[in-house]
């Protein structure tokens, strides 16, 4: 088996093991714990008072604009890492290119700040 | 040593042994940090803390707490989205365990020495937030929902500084293999915390936010959101969120120690002794950072949500980018 495949297999096994750990411990606890559900017990706790309305009430997700910015910069990070690995080999040419690239994005961030989209009211 | 090497040469046998080690490591680390949190919090507030369990110092308090959870009823609210509600803690713990894979405990002593280990660690460290989002959504509880949305917003804001702050380390080391980064630090003679101090500070702040530790604990802000996304959880499912938080504290600290503090290397040690003491050195360095996190908890007040966002976007991201530029210029030109 190639080491490449083993890498994936190990990672997958560890992630699956996290799920197994939860199942095993809950399974053992199932033997010991009481199960006596009453209607009152199964109401949503919320803050101690009887909940009003439905639990999935509409919420204003404020940061969708942050989300857009995040995607931009995260993609930038993906581009920066390959360059960072061989920054020394690429020399001044690579450095100037990546600095121009970063400058463009910083300019965008600066514009967003000046425009006030990052302010919460 | 050769016997161990022989066993580990067999992939499947090695994998089973590694999983057994993790099965021990995860609860033990969770317990140690949980106990440290109780006891250190008490000391910092001039209290005694756990005292009776197990005789001296109340050392068995966390074991007693863990056993207690076995006999707690598993209450799932009638309104909750049952299947998803039950899945959420497993998701969080899966991401937590998967993150442990890449930590190099010694020379070539990671559970798996991935070539893109750093990239992997950064990617997986943000996965547990999906579990949190799922938990908050499925609870059918307004506070849980707000808490999990805050967690998502926090992830969006602090993922960038976290990712960008390590680029400086990659430029210096020229590799994204965590073991290779430690080797590069040994070769250069100084841990990267010295040339990359700005990167280290940004990384540590962003890691605190990613872990939702105080001063960034808005997702579970007790005084505002009851218990945030954990409000509806009881018994073991509740415990898993805590276990994941404590273990994540350790793994993030271990990654920070690997990237910036020289990892498993201790100055002056070499040869077999360094191999044997590697895990001890790394764990000691990690716990030093964990101690810092616990210390911060009783030092700083909680940020307001908008302050948290503006700090990430207006301070940390520009600082991290400037750090990359300066590091690159120094590395390439000089």
Of B36, B71, B106, the one marking the end of a domain is B71
Of B71, B88, B121, the one marking the end of a domain is B71
Chain B neighbors of A118, CB-CB under 8 A: 309-310, 313-314
**Cα angle value B131/A24/B109 (rounded, 5°):** 75
Judged on CB neighbours under 10 Å (0-12, 13-18, 19+), B118 is buried
Q: Which residue of A has its CA nearest to B117?
A: A7
Return the pLDDT at B58: 79
Confidence of residue B273 (pLDDT cuts 50, 70, 90): confident
Q: Which residue of A has its CA nearest to B21?
A: A14
Q: Structurally, how many domains does chain B consist of?
A: 2
Question: What's chain B's average pLDDT?
Answer: 84
Please write the tens of the pLDDT for every residue from B74-106.
Answer: 888 877 788 888 888 888 888 888 888 888 887
CATH 3.40.50.80 fits A3-115, yes or no: no
Of B41, B71, B101, the one marking the end of a domain is B71
Cβ distance B99 to B124 under 8 Å? yes
Q: Which of B71, B119, B150, B153 to mutate to test the interface with A (most CBs of A within 10 A)?
A: B153
Cβ distance B107 to B179 under 8 Å? yes
B12 and B104 together in one domain: no
B146 and B295 together in one domain: yes
Interface subset of A 55-94, CB within 8 angstroms of B: 55-57, 59, 61-63, 66-67, 69-70, 73-74, 77, 80-81, 84-88, 90-92, 94
Which domain covers residue B16, as residue numbers? 1-71
Please write the tens of the pLDDT for every residue from A22-78.
Answer: 888 888 888 888 778 787 777 777 777 777 777 676 767 766 777 888 888 888 888
Interface subset of B 88-147, CB within 8 angstroms of A: 89-91, 93-98, 100-101, 111-112, 114-115, 119-120, 137, 139-143, 145-146
Question: Is A115 in CB contact (< 8 Å) with chain B?
Answer: no
DSSP notation for B137-201: HHTT-HHHHHHHHHHHHHHHHHHHHHHHHTHHHHHHHS---HHHHHHHHHHHSS-TTTTTHHHHH
B293 and B267 together in one domain: yes
Does the complex come out with an ipTM higher than 0.85? no
């Amino acid at each position: 088996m190639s080491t490449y495949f083993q890498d994936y297999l190990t990672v997958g096994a560890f992630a699956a093991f996290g799920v197994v750990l939860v199942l095993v411990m809950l399974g053992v606890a199932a033997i010991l714990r009481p199960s006596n559900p009453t209607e009152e017990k199964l109401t949503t706790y919320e803050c101690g008072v009887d909940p009003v309305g439905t639990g999935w009430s509409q919420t204003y997700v404020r940061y969708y604009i942050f989300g857009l910015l995040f995607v931009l910069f995260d993609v930038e990070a993906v581009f920066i890492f390959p360059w960072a690995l061989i920054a020394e080999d690429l020399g001044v040419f690579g450095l100037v290119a990546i600095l121009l690239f970063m400058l463009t994005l910083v300019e965008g961030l600066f514009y967003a700040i000046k425009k006030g989209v990052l302010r919460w009211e | 040593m050769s016997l161990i090497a022989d066993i580990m040469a067999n992939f499947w046998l090695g994998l089973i042994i590694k999983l057994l080690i993790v099965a021990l490591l995860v609860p033990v680390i969770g317990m140690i940090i949980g106990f440290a949190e109780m006891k250190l919090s008490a000391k910092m507030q001039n209290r005694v803390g756990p005292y009776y369990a197990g005789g001296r110092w109340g050392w068995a308090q966390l074991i007693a707490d863990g056993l207690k959870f076995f006999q707690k009823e598993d209450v799932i609210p009638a309104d909750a989205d049952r299947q998803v509600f039950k899945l959420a803690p497993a998701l969080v713990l899966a991401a937590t365990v998967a993150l442990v894979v890449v930590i190099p405990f010694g020379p070539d002593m990671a559970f798996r020495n991935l070539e893109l280990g750093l990239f992997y660690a950064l990617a997986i460290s943000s996965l547990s937030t999906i579990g949190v989002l799922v938990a908050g959504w499925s609870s059918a509880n307004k506070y849980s929902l707000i808490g999990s949305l805050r967690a998502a917003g926090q992830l969006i804001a602090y993922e960038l500084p976290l990712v960008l702050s390590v680029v400086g380390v990659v430029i210096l080391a020229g590799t994204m293999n965590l073991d290779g980064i430690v080797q590069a630090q040994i070769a250069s003679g100084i841990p990267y915390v010295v040339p990359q101090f700005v990167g280290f500070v940004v990384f540590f702040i962003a890691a605190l936010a990613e872990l939702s530790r105080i001063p960034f604990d808005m997702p579970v802000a007790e005084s505002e959101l009851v218990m945030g996304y954990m409000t509806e959880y009881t018994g073991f499912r509740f415990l898993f969120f805590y276990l994941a938080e404590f273990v994540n504290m350790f793994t993030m600290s271990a990654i920070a120690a690997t990237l910036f503090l020289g990892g498993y290397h201790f100055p002056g040690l070499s040869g077999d002794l360094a191999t044997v003491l590697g895990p001890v050195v790394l764990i000691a360095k990690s716990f030093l950072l964990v101690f810092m996190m616990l210390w911060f908890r009783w030092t700083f007040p909680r940020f307001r949500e908008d302050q948290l966002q503006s700090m990430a976007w207006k301070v940390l991201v520009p600082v991290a980018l400037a750090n990359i530029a300066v590091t690159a210029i120094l590395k390439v030109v000089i």
